[in-house]
């Protein structure tokens, strides 16, 4: 459309014709009186007046035309403002009041135009953001600028994120600013979700690290138990000591090898994190990290370009596993599976995948977030661990068998020697030196017999951990023990105090429980102080445990100094009193066989308290 067809052109033409007519009429009006009077104005004055009138008229018409043009452009700009798809508004820089808003702002924020014009730009922001807003408005800008991302509040209270662009304007006499608001809430939420996914990945890695640490701790515990077993079976027999040391060294080497393998697994953890749409035989990836190249051996671009590659690498016999996990996700938001793949180098690997169904999933469009771990090394480690444990058990059984053979084989020669020494004792030896020598031999044979008996008793306890348990009346058991110790109790006038009303019965192996009470009570009498012995026996349940306490006021011992030796074999702490150092070791062994623990609290001349804890599931109350 040309300028001649515009309303302004025709207004100008019409105005020009009207102006000429007005000039003519004006000239007649001006010249009329002179014509009536018969006076003739000078030609120059007549033409000059006409020209002046013509100029005045032209200027007036030009002004009218320019005003019309400006109004037309203003209307065009108004249309751009109103029809912009993004929210726009104009606000007063001094009062913050809304001066004008477009339809997109009304639609997006939920306020009507009238409601907007009663508010200020502070009303659509969280209170804590107002100081930042005031600082931004107070900073002068002379041209278009972007002030970054801000938080706004819709009429319904929903918080959104918008990117603000603005430019200074004059609006109906106000010092104002034109604002363009672009909603970037989805982009911010996507970034937040990505951050949360990274946090979840870190938590999964920490969890896997803890699992491996716990496995390492179990192997360390097994090593400690094996070491303790070796120490318990230590005797004066050189051949037995050599065998024990050899087994211990082998166990140490095996544990070190296992620990090294676990450490290598810890430092090689690197899982695949991926997201996309999954069907029966394809995966359209939205995202995958570089770990997929290390595990599969293919460039990462191949997985984006070939949607079937992930399924093609799965071994045919594991396809059913992959299809089953997809069917599970149809009815559940989470699933996990383990399967095997063949990588680019034709190596078979074991993978473990956890999948979370996305909210945008719909029938026929399954979107997931997933973490895939290469568990090939863990699988190999599990097989190696099973092999090591089997080997350790075999070594331990060999050691126990050797100990039995050694103890039983020694019993025969020792019994023969004791019999021979008995026969010799029937005869009087005239030579004093020979008699003294024979007496030493007889004493040594007796000690050797005690050692073999102790070893046999220890091994029997170790092998009898699965003896049937029975319900034992504790008061009756304590009465039997004190009856058998009546001579010592009467001689020392020991005061036995019993407080077992909270736990009158206990399910345990009778022989072990009797031995525990007998050894601890007899020790309390044997290692009494100058005071009258007071022995207190207490039993009560505590959460999931049964607690037995035997406390005395005797000589006590330095626990801090001897804590590592208290329950070991042939350890004695009061050498001026006869003993073999076997009682506490037997108590510890029997408590362990009952799946319990024992602790000691003692100090020199402050008495001693032994605390035994047994599993509460072993307790039966009336």
Distances from the Cα of 262 to the Cα of 206, 209, 222, 300, 386, angstroms:
15, 10, 15, 29, 14
Asked if 609 and 600 count as a contact pair (C-beta separation under 8 A), the reply is: yes
What pLDDT does residue 414 have? 63
Task: Answer whether residue 336 is part of any domain.
Answer: yes
- Residue 369's DSSP bridge partners are 275, 356
- Residue 95's DSSP bridge partners are none
Q: Which two tokens stand for residue 281?
A: 């035989």
Could you tell me if 170 and 77 lie in one domain?
no
Q: What share of the chain has pLDDT > 90, as a percent?
A: 30
Residue 443 has pLDDT above 70, yes or no: no
φ/ψ of 529, rounded to 5, equals -95, -165
Could you tell me if 569 and 480 lie in one domain?
yes
Could you tell me if 601 and 492 lie in one domain?
yes
Quickly state the pLDDT bin for 303 (edges 50, 70, 90).
very high
Beta strand spans in 184-305 (E): 272-278, 283-288
Mean pLDDT lowest among 369-373, 441-445, 576-580: 576-580
What pLDDT does residue 297 have? 93
Could you tell me if 456 and 490 lie in one domain?
no
Task: Answer whether residue 232 is part of any domain.
Answer: no
pLDDT in tens, 87-137: 999 999 999 999 999 998 999 999 999 999 999 999 999 999 999 999 888
Considering 62-71, 224-233, 401-410, 457-466, the range whose residues carry the highest mean pLDDT is 224-233
What pLDDT does residue 28 have? 65
Could you tell me if 119 and 177 lie in one domain?
yes
Residue 612 has pLDDT above 80, yes or no: yes
Could you tell me if 69 and 133 lie in one domain?
no
Q: Which two tokens stand for residue 476?
A: 């009756």
What pLDDT does residue 400 have? 56
Q: Which residues contact 184 (CB under 8 A, 6 or more apart)?
A: 149, 161, 162, 163
Asked if 556 and 603 count as a contact pair (C-beta separation under 8 A), the reply is: yes
Could you tell me if 510 and 441 lie in one domain?
no
Task: Answer whether residue 240 is part of any domain.
Answer: no
Beta strand spans in 68-173 (E): 88-92, 98-101, 145-153, 159-171
Could you tell me if 386 and 502 lie in one domain?
no
Nearest to 23 by CA among 44, 54, 66, 46: 54
Quickly state the pLDDT bin for 3 (edges 50, 70, 90).
very low
Asked if 461 and 589 count as a contact pair (C-beta separation under 8 A), the reply is: yes
Residue 70 has pLDDT above 60, yes or no: no
Residue 480 has pLDDT above 90, yes or no: yes
Q: Which residues contact 6 (CB under 8 A, 6 or more apart)?
A: none
Encode 7-25 in three state secondary structure.
Answer: HHHHHHHHHHHHHHHHHHH
Encode 420-447 in three state secondary structure.
Answer: HHHHHHCCCCCCHHHHHHHHHHHHHHHH
Quickly state the pLDDT bin for 440 (edges 50, 70, 90).
low
Q: Which two tokens stand for residue 550?
A: 């035997």
What pLDDT does residue 561 have? 76
Residue 363 has pLDDT above 70, yes or no: yes
Could you tell me if 120 and 96 lie in one domain?
yes
Considering 421-425, 451-455, 599-603, the range whose residues carry the highest mean pLDDT is 599-603
Asked if 256 and 240 count as a contact pair (C-beta separation under 8 A), the reply is: no
Q: What angle do CA 193, 194, 199 make, to 5 degrees?
A: 95
Residue 285: domain span: 272-374
Could you tell me if 159 and 296 lie in one domain?
no
Rounded Cα gap, residues 176 and 381, in angstroms: 72
Quickly state the pLDDT bin for 47 (edges 50, 70, 90).
low
Asked if 618 and 546 count as a contact pair (C-beta separation under 8 A), the reply is: yes
Distances from the Cα of 511 to the Cα of 461, 515, 516, 554, 588, angstroms:
10, 6, 9, 26, 14
pLDDT in tens, 250-302: 767 776 776 565 444 434 557 888 899 988 788 999 988 888 998 999 999 99
What pLDDT does residue 192 have? 87
Residue 342 has pLDDT above 90, yes or no: yes
Could you tell me if 600 and 493 lie in one domain?
yes
Over the chain, what is the mean pLDDT? 78
What pLDDT does residue 619 have? 45
What pLDDT does residue 15 have? 64
Domain count, the chain: 5
Task: Answer whether residue 13 is part of any domain.
Answer: yes
Task: Answer whether residue 253 is part of any domain.
Answer: no
To 10 degrees, the CA torsion angle through 586, 588, 592, 597? 160
Residue 540 has pLDDT above 70, yes or no: yes
pLDDT in tens, 378-424: 888 888 887 777 776 665 555 555 555 555 555 556 666 666 666 66
What average pLDDT does range 138-160 have in this prediction?
87
């Amino acid at each position: 459309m040309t300028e001649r067809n515009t309303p302004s052109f025709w207004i100008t033409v019409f105005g020009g014709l009207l102006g000429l007519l007005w000039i003519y009429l004006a000239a007649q009006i001006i010249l009329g009186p002179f014509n009536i009077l018969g006076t003739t104005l000078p030609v120059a004055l007549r033409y000059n007046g006409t020209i002046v009138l013509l100029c005045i008229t032209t200027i007036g018409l030009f002004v009218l035309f320019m005003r019309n043009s400006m109004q037309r452009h203003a209307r065009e700009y108004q249309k751009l403002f109103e029809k912009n798809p993004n929210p726009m508004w104009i606000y007063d820089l001094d009062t913050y009041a809304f001066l004008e808003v477009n339809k997109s702002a009304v639609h997006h924020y939920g306020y009507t135009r009238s409601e907007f014009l009663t508010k200020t730009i502070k009303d659509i922001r969280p209170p804590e953001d107002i100081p930042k807003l005031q600082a931004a408005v107070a900073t002068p800008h002379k041209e278009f600028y972007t002030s970054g991302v801000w938080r706004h509040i819709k009429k319904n209270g929903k918080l959104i994120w918008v990117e603000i662009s603005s430019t200074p304007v004059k609006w109906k006499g106000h010092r104002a600013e034109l604002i363009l608001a672009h909603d970037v809430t989805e982009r911010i939420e996507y970034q937040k979700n990505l951050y949360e996914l990274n946090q979840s990945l870190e938590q999964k890695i920490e969890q896997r690290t803890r699992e491996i640490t716990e496995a390492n701790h179990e192997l360390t515990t097994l090593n400690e138990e094996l070491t303790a077993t070796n120490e318990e079976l230590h005797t004066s027999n050189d051949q037995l000591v050599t065998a024990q040391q050899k087994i211990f060294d082998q166990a140490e080497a095996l544990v070190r090898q296992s620990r090294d393998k676990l450490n290598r697994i810890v430092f090689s953890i690197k899982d695949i994190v991926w997201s996309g749409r999954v069907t029966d035989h394809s995966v359209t990836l939205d995202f995958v990290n570089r770990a997929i190249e290390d595990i599969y051996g293919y460039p990462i671009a191949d997985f984006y370009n070939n949607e079937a590659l992930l399924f093609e690498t799965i071994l045919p016999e594991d396809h059913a596993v992959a299809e089953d996990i997809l069917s599970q996700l149809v009815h559940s938001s989470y699933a996990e599976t383990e399967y095997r793949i063949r990588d680019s180098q034709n190596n078979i690997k074991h993978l473990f995948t956890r999948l979370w169904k996305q909210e945008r999933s719909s029938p026929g469009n399954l979107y997931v977030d997933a973490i895939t771990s290469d568990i090939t090394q863990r699988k190999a480690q599990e097989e190696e661990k099973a092999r090591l444990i089997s080997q350790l058990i075999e070594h331990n059984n060999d050691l126990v068998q050797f100990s039995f053979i050694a103890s039983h084989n020694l019993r025969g020669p020792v019994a023969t020697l004791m019999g021979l020494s008995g026969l010799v004792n029937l005869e009087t030896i005239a030579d004093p030196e020979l008699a003294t020598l024979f007496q030493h031999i007889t004493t040594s044979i007796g000690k050797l017999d005690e050692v073999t008996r102790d070893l046999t008793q220890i091994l029997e306890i170790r092998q009898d951990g699965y003896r049937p348990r029975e319900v034992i009346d504790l008061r009756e058991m304590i009465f039997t023990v004190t009856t058998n110790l009546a001579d010592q109790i009467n001689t020392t006038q020991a005061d036995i105090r019993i407080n077992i009303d909270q736990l009158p019965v206990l399910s345990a192996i009778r022989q072990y429980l009797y031995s525990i009470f007998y050894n601890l009570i007899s020790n309390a009498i044997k290692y009494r102080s100058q005071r009258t012995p007071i022995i207190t026996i207490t039993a009560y349940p505590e959460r999931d445990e049964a607690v037995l306490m035997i406390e005395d006021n005797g000589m006590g011992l330095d626990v801090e100094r001897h804590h590592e030796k208290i329950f070991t074999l042939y350890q004695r702490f009061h050498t001026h009193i006869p003993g073999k150092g076997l009682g506490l070791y037997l108590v510890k062994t029997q408590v362990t066989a009952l799946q319990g623990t024992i602790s000691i609290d003692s100090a020199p001349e402050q008495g001693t308290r032994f605390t035994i804890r047994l599993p509460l599931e072993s307790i039966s109350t009336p």
